[in-house]
Every structure is written in C-alpha cells, then in structure tokens.
Amino acid sequence: MTTPDYAQRDRNAAEDREEAAKRWMRGYAQIRGLLVQNPETGRDRRGTLAVLVSERQHRALLLYLALLSVWPWLQRERLPLEAHAWMHLLHSRSVPGHALVWSESTLSRTWKYLTAKGLVEKHRGRRGLLYVAPRMEDGSGPYTAPTGEKSNLKEAYFTLPDRFWLDEDFAKLTLPGLAMLLVVAKETNKVPEFRITQDQIAEWYGFSRGTVAKGLESLRSLQLLEERTVWIPAKLSKIRTTSATHYSLVDAYSTVERSKARAAAERRRRRAGKAMNTGSSLTFVSSDGDDPDDT
C-alpha cells in the first residue's frame, strides 16, 4: 500500500470511529469486570484478560473490546459491519514504527481465535455476509448487556470512555499497558484509587511480574496513570515495612469523569423517554445498566 493510500485509510478510520461513537451516543462502553477477574472466590481468579495476555493476543483483545463497544447499536442493524469497517475501527499509525494495520486475512484469523475461545459467535448470512455477535466476557454463554445488579457480582461492570478509540489510545498502549488500563479502570469504577503492590497485581489477576511492570510503564508513558506510594507494616520483612501504591487514572478515564459520563447518558435517556411520550423526533437507544447508581 502506498503512502497516499495509507493517508486515505487513516482518514477513513478516524471518520468511522467517530461515526461508531455517535451512533450510540453514550460516550463509553460497558465491560463486565469478569473480563479482568473471576469474581468468585477461589484459588484461581484469573479472567479472560490473563489468557489473552499470556497468549499474546493483542489484536484479539482489541477486536473483542471493539465488538462490545459497538454491539448496543450494531445488534439492531439489519446488515452486519463488513470487513473493511472492522479494519478501519482498529486501524492506527499513531505510533511510529508500530503501526496497527489490518488485512482481511488477519481479521479472519482473529475472529476465528475469538470464536474458539467462546468469546464470539458467527455465521454467514445471505450474500456471504459475516454476522458476528459477542458472547459473555468469560465465554460462558450468549451475551447480554450487564445490569450492574449489586447482588450478582458477574453483572458488575466498568466503563471504557470513547477517548480510548477516538484518541487512538487503543493503539498507543502496549498489550501489557492495555491489560493494566483495564485492571485499574475496573478497580476504580466506584472509588478514585486503589492500593495494591505489583506482586499482588500479578497474583490476583494472573499476569507475570514483567507484564505488570511493563504495563504500568506503558500507562505512565501516556500520562494516564497517577501513583501514590505509602509504606505499610510487614512483620516478616527485614526492614519491617513494605511499600504499596495507590493507583488511579486521569482525564476521561478517571473515576470522576466516567461517573459524569454515566450521569449524562442517564439524563439523555430520560429526555429521550419524555420526547417519545410527547411525540418529539428526538431518539436515544437505552440499555440496562446505564443508571450511575447501579455500577
């Protein structure tokens, strides 16, 4: 592909991501926490994320996140997105030397991998069009929108702001960086920061110590992470103390900004409901789990 061709594809990709965000009008995607960690107590609490990271399936993770992001409106469309649209949504040359460029064969292999992992179901429709649908974040069954039901930990979710796609953060983050972004986003969905050691991150979420260190550095390099280190008692330690760090995200990823986005979406949904009752032309597609008090 020539440089002019890439330039046109860059423009098409940016336009398609903007259009995808406009069609849902929420400003964020809902991701169940069980993608990151199994909420049930037990020795092994690794989630799907740990599997994808250990198998170095960066593209598969991005494609699955993209499918979850567009599914609220895509499921209502008569026709599926064609291959070029998926490739545009995940196309980026924002990082010199590390372009994220897709081909139809790469896309096909990635769908095949996600299907084998139970994260996607697909079938061919008329004219050979490929219809894809997400399955639950742990691959346990057909996908339903998360409800945020407090009594069911598997329905707890966190949000991923549209900035992730529109500012091409999805391409700027390394795979370890993306993993750490999802971990911190999950744990700061309700509280602005959480305290943990790097060894605990590795143990609790199923990553290697190297993945954790590289992931946090990737977040730092994009200035998405804030850290506050404290010293806590450690009786078996030679110096009797050990350090733990409070992690939080900034800008659109922060707890405050994500809460504001949920509240704004709820206001738009309520206005849309009033407009429907009065016969106005304003439309907004609602979904379970948008109430900011339920997340």
pTM of the entire structure? 0.88
Predicted pLDDT at 230 = 85
pLDDT tens digit sequence for 204-219: 999 999 999 999 999 9
- Number of structural domains found in the chain: 1
pLDDT tens digit sequence for 146-156: 999 988 999 99
Can you give the residue range of the structural domain that contains 177?
A: 3-294
CA distance 249 to 255: 7
User: CB neighbours of 44 closer than 8 A, spacing ≥ 6?
Assistant: 38, 206
CA distance 204 to 65: 22
pLDDT tens digit sequence for 116-129: 999 999 999 888 89
pLDDT tens digit sequence for 255-295: 999 999 999 988 888 887 777 666 543 333 334 444 433 43
The mean-pLDDT minimum among 137-151, 189-203, 229-243 falls in 229-243
pLDDT tens digit sequence for 92-103: 998 888 889 999
Cβ(167)–Cβ(21) below 8 Å: no
CA distance 58 to 76: 28
pLDDT tens digit sequence for 181-201: 999 999 999 999 999 989 999
**Amino acid of residue 3:** T
As a whole-number percent, the residues of the chain with pLDDT over 90 amount to 73
Phi-psi region of 84 (alpha: psi -120 to 50; beta: other; left: phi over 0): alpha
pLDDT tens digit sequence for 101-111: 999 999 999 99
Q: At which residue do the structure tokens 């806590």 appear?
A: 232
In this predicted structure, the answer to whether residue 5 has a pLDDT above a threshold of 60 is yes
